[in-house]
Amino acid sequence: MSDTTVASVAVGLWLHQRFDYAIPPSMRGVLLPGMRVLVPFGPRRVTGYVVAVKGESDFKGKLRDVVELLDESPAFNEELLGLLQWAAEYYLVPLGELLRKSLPPSMHQADVRHVVVTELGREQAGGNKLLELLCARESVPFRTALNFATQGAIDALERQGLVATQRVLAAAQARPRMETFVDLCADISVGAIRGRVQRGIVEVLAEAGRPVAVTELRQRFPGLSGPLKALVEAGYVKTHEERSFRTLDSGYSVVDEDHTLNSEQEAAVEEIGVALGSGRYSPFLLHGVTGSGKTEVYMRLVELALARGLSTLVLVPEIALTPQLMARFEARFERRIAILHSALTPGERLDYWYQVASGSLPIVLGARSAIFAPVPNLGLIVVDEEHEGSFKQDVSPFYNARDLALTRASRLKCAVVLGSATPSLESWHNCKTGKIRLVTMRNRATARPLPDVALVDLRTQPFADSERLFSRQLADGIRETLARGEQTILFLNRKGFSQFMLCPRCGYVPSCDHCSVSLTYYKGARVLRCHYCQQEASAAQSCPVCGEESLKLVGAGTERVSETLAELFPSARFAQVDAASGARTNVPRILDQFRKGELDILVGTQMIAKGHDFPNVTLVGVLRADQGLSFPDVRAAERTFQLVTQVAGRAGRGSQPGRVVLQTFMPTHYSLVYAQRQDFVRFAEEELGVRQMRQLPPFSVFALFRFSGPDLVRLREAADVARGIMDGALRGLAGGGAVDFLGPGPAPIALVADRHRFQLLVKAPSRVVMQTLLRKAFNVLEGELRRHSSVQWSVDVDPLSVM
């Protein structure tokens, strides 16, 4: 038997099994691992992904054939397919689902239910709107049919034999953007050609010495079609089609930069550069203070990689950061960069994906999902701001792009650089245990020192406004900064106008009808909005419970800060940046205006806290530095230190010294004390001491089971079943004595979008123990929980949040 007669296929559905299909003779030797195929699956056809080809199957029945090959070459090379298989096993995600989500959405195909009319239905169509529609169109998608008849009516028509339903594969795959090019194919005299336009076309082609796009010619010769056709028929020119790719512009201006390295940058480039192309797995943590010039180190390393024939993948945490970083890379590398993130259109993502896979763009810059980019000959991976939680996917599949970067580099035996001024404690601990090599830059790239940081105790300091947002010290600082023509950043990690409304008489708080949270007040839109299900309600003028006519606004968001700022400094030019600002269009525009000096003050959430370089910013104000410390999370102190330190680092990056004002009601908390001193090492020592004493990550590992459903009783039953299965799997497990369970019980936010939420937290001493336990229990869990059809459940391996 041929050794390529069977394809092992992962289908793009939520199924962990792989299925064997017979490879038709016409596809043998052509069908390869990593290709997409169309396969029969029950009564329908679905897209599958070939994981392996082999000579025989363990399945004893008759194998069904692969229907169609969807790729001319593998969509996943061997290296990327191996990484995705590893990730699927580690994060307990069906491989087909992970493969599907790692591709551009326009490459997916969907199996769509259609309704078709039968001959009998055609004869009896008179008066029935749906049958008349079907007679005119032959078939329509089922969703369209529901506009003309209910599902019950359609089912009745099917039972009478008047219509039939069938599955049709709707190709969502974007067609290649093809462009026609024109080239000279004969040595001719321009003077011998009749017609002004024909002569002009030949002159342009002769001068260009290369094929010219028809779109370019049409701009110069509006009446192109006839003359071009005549030239083709005469054999003077020829046309051909080529795939055309969009060219994106970052939309972000870059001022001239000094690329001279200081001694610390030179040492970092030299130490890391030795690893490029060495054929060894070489992980580094580049710990550099804010403004130390980490981006310049990255770009020097990219230059070295290119010189050695290697490609580079650069991951950034926020889409808002991508245009600025892309502009800097564009200025240096002359459009050899692909940008990959979810804010691109499907066509843009597809264009970049093809160019990356072909090797024509050797530098890939993108957010979390770019870790799955099909980069050939990958020799360097950079994870900028590696501590950022946005590298962790917060919906299934719950992968962490930073951790996958380390895994991908390990499998490729290449260099990987994690960069941060405030590293994650996991990465710092890995340096201490020798798993990652530490490279340190203690000084800023310029001669400027780190900014002076003042802690303002809001318990005792006077305020400059009635809303008690601006201390007198911060307001005076803003006034002085404006007078000098310099810029200010104001940070508050909460959007909206007010956190919630409160009746001062009876204590009533407007809350979401579908979630167990209060509604946030947006004054500009005059609405109350839920940040979980996005429900909106009009803001009441009086209390619906006791009739109190004036409800109190409690807590402040960026919208309220902007309003108060306008009252205090009416002549100041300012803008607001938060999640409601529009990451694709408005945020890059606002950031560019601020960088050009067209704005005096930037108000924002964590979107402005890291990665940005604004040379004229000399004052940063953090309105509530302690805001995250009361959050019920084991990483609350770490996140607070990181966020405050990062936003403070935006000050004093140019020629003028910087100042930072941290307003807080908790001035003695160690995370803020060390943030004021900008002393990460001391903070890490203290926080790791606390974590070790409590056996919290990185001294243990977590897995979080989440359960949700509309019926609280059934939800609790399903969660208890899961706990029982985990208890059983724990028996006899080596190292299982150190495994702890917390729950199951209600999640901190117990209701979201009318679904109750329970969770079960598992803590294990090591990843080996955790993985062994999860794999031992998982198949049983899937089987038992399938009986609880109303309950949705998932498992998040290495969660960053337990909310």
- Contact between 53 and 86 (Cβ < 8 Å): no
Q: By mean pLDDT, which of 103-112, 599-608, 678-687 is the weakest?
A: 103-112
Rounded CA-CA distance 48/97 in Å is: 10
Task: Give the model's pLDDT for residue 423.
Answer: 97
Pick the CATH number of 452-497+556-692 from 3.30.70.100, 3.40.50.300, 3.40.50.720, 1.10.10.10: 3.40.50.300
* Cα angle for residues 744, 749, 753 (degrees, 5° grid): 110
- Contact between 439 and 286 (Cβ < 8 Å): yes
Helix ranges, 209-279 (H) = 214-220, 225-233, 263-273
Domain spans of the chain? 6-103, 110-171, 178-243, 263-441, 452-497+556-692, 701-797
- Please state whether beta strands 212-213 and 282-288 pair in parallel, antiparallel, or not at all (unpaired): unpaired
523's tokens: 């004054």
Task: Give the model's pLDDT for residue 247.
Answer: 64
Rounded CA-CA distance 335/248 in Å is: 9
Q: Compute the average pLDDT of residues 421-437.
A: 97
pLDDT tens figures, 4-47: 799 999 998 888 899 999 999 989 889 999 999 989 988 888 88
Cα–Cα distance list, 211 to 311, 343, 798 (Å):
29, 33, 53
- Contact between 481 and 488 (Cβ < 8 Å): yes
Q: Which of 110-114, 239-243, 425-429, 650-654 has the highest mean pLDDT?
A: 425-429
More confident residue, 724 or 498: 724
- When pLDDT is cut at 50, 70 and 90, the band that residue 479 belongs to is very high
Task: Give the model's pLDDT for residue 112.
Answer: 56
Q: By mean pLDDT, which of 44-53, 100-109, 282-291, 440-449 is the weakest?
A: 100-109
* Cα angle for residues 389, 391, 395 (degrees, 5° grid): 90
Rounded CA-CA distance 69/56 in Å is: 20
Q: Is the pLDDT of residue 169 over 60?
A: no
Q: Is 709 helix (H, G, I), strand (E, B) or coil?
A: strand
371's tokens: 């870790």
Rounded CA-CA distance 73/132 in Å is: 44
Q: Is the pLDDT of residue 175 over 60?
A: no
Rounded CA-CA distance 639/624 in Å is: 14
H or E element that contains 211: none
Q: Is the pLDDT of residue 108 over 70?
A: no
Q: Which of 75-84, 232-241, 519-528, 744-753 has the highest mean pLDDT?
A: 75-84
My answer on whether omega of the bond before 176 falls inside 30° of 0, hence cis, is: no
Rounded CA-CA distance 469/131 in Å is: 65
Tokens 């940070």 correspond to what residue? 491
Q: Is 707 helix (H, G, I), strand (E, B) or coil?
A: strand
- When pLDDT is cut at 50, 70 and 90, the band that residue 421 belongs to is very high
Q: Which of 186-190, 290-294, 587-591, 723-727 has the highest mean pLDDT?
A: 723-727
- Closest Cα to residue 191, out of 183, 179, 182, 203? 203
The mean pLDDT value of the chain amounts to: 87
Q: Compute the average pLDDT of residues 225-236.
A: 86
More confident residue, 579 or 56: 56
Rounded CA-CA distance 260/300 in Å is: 11
241's tokens: 């089609």
- Contact between 613 and 252 (Cβ < 8 Å): no
Q: Is the pLDDT of residue 473 over 80?
A: yes
Fold equal for 263-441 and 452-497+556-692: yes
- Intra-chain end-to-end CA distance of the chain, in Å: 54
Q: Is the pLDDT of residue 193 over 60?
A: yes
Rounded CA-CA distance 159/473 in Å is: 78
- Closest Cα to residue 317, out of 245, 177, 424? 424
64's tokens: 């069904």
DSSP structure class, residue 607: G
Q: What percent of the chain has pLDDT over 90?
A: 48
536's tokens: 């909106």
Task: Give the model's pLDDT for residue 86.
Answer: 97
Q: Is the pLDDT of residue 177 over 80?
A: no
Q: Which fold has domain 701-797?
A: Alpha-Beta Plaits (3.30.70)
Q: Is the pLDDT of residue 485 over 60?
A: yes
Tokens 């529609």 correspond to what residue? 133
Return the CATH architecture of domain 263-441: 3-Layer(aba) Sandwich (3.40)
Cα–Cα distance list, 634 to 494, 617, 741 (Å):
20, 33, 16
My answer on whether omega of the bond before 744 falls inside 30° of 0, hence cis, is: yes
Q: Is the pLDDT of residue 310 over 70?
A: yes
Pick the CATH number of 6-103 from 3.10.180.10, 3.40.50.2000, 3.40.1440.60, 3.40.50.620: 3.40.1440.60
Q: Is the pLDDT of residue 757 over 70?
A: yes
- Closest Cα to residue 267, out of 286, 281, 282? 286
List CB contacts of 427: < 8 A, sequence separation 6 or more: 285, 386, 387, 418, 420, 436
DSSP collapsed to 3 states, 713-777? HHHHHHHHHHHHHHHHHHCCCCCHHHCEEEEEEEEEEEEECCEEEEEEEEEECCHHHHHHHHHHH
Sheet holding 740-752, edge to edge: 740-752, 755-764, 701-709, 792-797
Number of H helices, E strands in the chain: 23, 33
Polymer length of the chain: 803
- Contact between 737 and 761 (Cβ < 8 Å): no
- When pLDDT is cut at 50, 70 and 90, the band that residue 172 belongs to is very low
pTM for the full model? 0.83
